[in-house]
Chains A and B, each alone.
Chain A
């Protein structure tokens, strides 16, 4: 991996042109790794190590990773979805498919969690079929209900809590995406795989 390294803050470096998951071997001063699309940030304690040391250590570890099947290590998570989102019909019309075809397309993939952010637990998922790649809604909603499954800009994601949002809502889930009381607060982390399992509106996802 040929990476570009820039300073993100006094205590963080941004590595571009490469992707690793949250799996750096601990080294003195390391706080955490935050993965994103083609970049990742390494947060560190400036009282313990220097930016140059972080750069060297990460370069060393990344060099060792080359050839490793790092992506296969993520867990596979099935998420039950009731496909009855308020934008489902509109999305189907927009791309010239039936609602059933949209559901089949969306639930027929295995998605990769690229990063978690926007709000705690919100997974950005890669792997949306080309056919479903539509831009965001012209008017973002002021409140998107928790558990909404949305698509926009070639991505799909799940809103863990009620927030404003501009994605097209095609379904909903009862899965608890974030719980600060759990050992792993976020249900999904970068590198995990997600499958959406369609369930009926009644008795399905409602547990």
Chain B
């Protein structure tokens, strides 16, 4: 039985997958990887095509020992990583021998990292997903909590043929070039948005203001919401706070009465009472997920049609990537 021992949990490491769909009506958010691009890329690199569960770590990653030979991929922020004390390259499949120790240290840039393993982590799925939900009673992932030293994670068994193919892919040393990844490293992060559900409640000047100067990511941000500080987005006083609660979605840019926007993230609430000035394009949520507290975010208006096109382009890129990884084998 292939098992991964956790020697060090890291700052905040959880099991995540593509998220739970279909439970928002019960108040349960989708959860799942904050940086869907990096998560999906890591899975693609190890030949996982069914949304297998991976690890998401934050700022400082875990130390893991693999009982049996495995193929892994680490992606996301620019984390310092090693395999048995030799530098471990990111964004490409890597062969880990039996007993291999993978150490993930601090991120040189970026904020969240992912570790996928061929076959995926085997934790029980709850409501159709293995993603940790840490609030309320907490469930899934590893019993609804972050990884800690002494934990052990099981891996899904991999057929000998699949294992052989993953090893071959690792040997091919094919990685995902920086040019094919979102521009995580930019000093001012550019995040595209389209009109939010209540954008007409804001004066045109306020909508311009939102995209005119950068906002700074606040340290109060987490997987529920990314809080921003910058130009205050005022609403006509008669309307402020008068909105009946309405369904919310990931990427909603909510404006509470203090005028400082909050972007709803993976674990964000399903119902909200604040007007939404903008909606972050899904393809740019990974950029926000990799921003650190203090980083500058520059919003840019695009049309919803453009955002849809970007979404389809991204899906095509992943189909292509999965195909490429298959041919490598």
**Closest B residue by C-beta to A123:** B27
Task: Give the residues in chain B near A84, CB-CB below 8 Å.
Answer: none
The residue that A118 contacts in the complex, of B21, B22, B27, with Cβ under 8 A, is B27
B271 and A178 contact, CB distance less than 8 A: no
The reply to whether the CB of B279 lies closer than 8 angstroms to some CB of chain A is yes
B7 to chain A, nearest CB (A): 30
CB contacts between A and B, total, < 8 Å: 135
B27 and A122 contact, CB distance less than 8 A: yes
**Closest A residue by C-beta to B283:** A10
Task: Give the residues in chain B near A178, CB-CB below 8 Å.
Answer: 26-27, 136-137
Complex-state Cα separation, A36 to B23, whole angstroms: 14
The residue that A7 contacts in the complex, of B135, B194, B271, with Cβ under 8 A, is B194
The residue that A185 contacts in the complex, of B127, B245, B250, with Cβ under 8 A, is B127
The reply to whether the CB of A38 lies closer than 8 angstroms to some CB of chain B is yes
The residue that B197 contacts in the complex, of A6, A116, A180, with Cβ under 8 A, is A6
Task: Give the residues in chain A near B246, CB-CB below 8 Å.
Answer: 14, 16, 36-37, 39, 41
Task: Give the residues in chain B near A186, CB-CB below 8 Å.
Answer: 26-28
B156 to chain A, nearest CB (A): 22
Task: Give the residues in chain A near B245, CB-CB below 8 Å.
Answer: 36-37, 115, 117, 124
A32 and B24 contact, CB distance less than 8 A: yes
B271 and A36 contact, CB distance less than 8 A: yes
The tally of residues in A whose CB lies under 8 Å from a CB in B reads 44
Interface of chain A residues 40 through 74 with chain B (CB within 8 A)? 40-41, 43, 46-47, 51
B269 to chain A, nearest CB (A): 6
A46 and B279 contact, CB distance less than 8 A: no
Task: Give the residues in chain B near A33, CB-CB below 8 Å.
Answer: 25
Given the contacts A117-B270, A122-B27, A178-B137, A9 and B249 also touching, CB distance less than 8 Å: yes
B42 to chain A, nearest CB (A): 21
Task: Give the residues in chain B near A181, CB-CB below 8 Å.
Answer: 126
Complex-state Cα separation, A132 to B238, whole angstroms: 25
Task: Give the residues in chain B near A41, CB-CB below 8 Å.
Answer: 24, 246-247, 249
Sort A-B residue pairs by CB-CB distance and give the 7 closest, nearest first.
A117-B271, A41-B247, A186-B26, A161-B136, A9-B249, A34-B247, A120-B27
Given contacts A118-B27, A121-B26, A124-B245, 13 further A-B contacts (CB under 8 A): A9-B251, A9-B252, A16-B246, A32-B22, A36-B244, A39-B246, A43-B21, A43-B249, A47-B315, A116-B25, A117-B27, A119-B269, A180-B139
CB-defined A-B contacts under 8 Å, sample of 6 = A31-B22, A115-B271, A116-B26, A118-B269, A161-B135, A180-B139
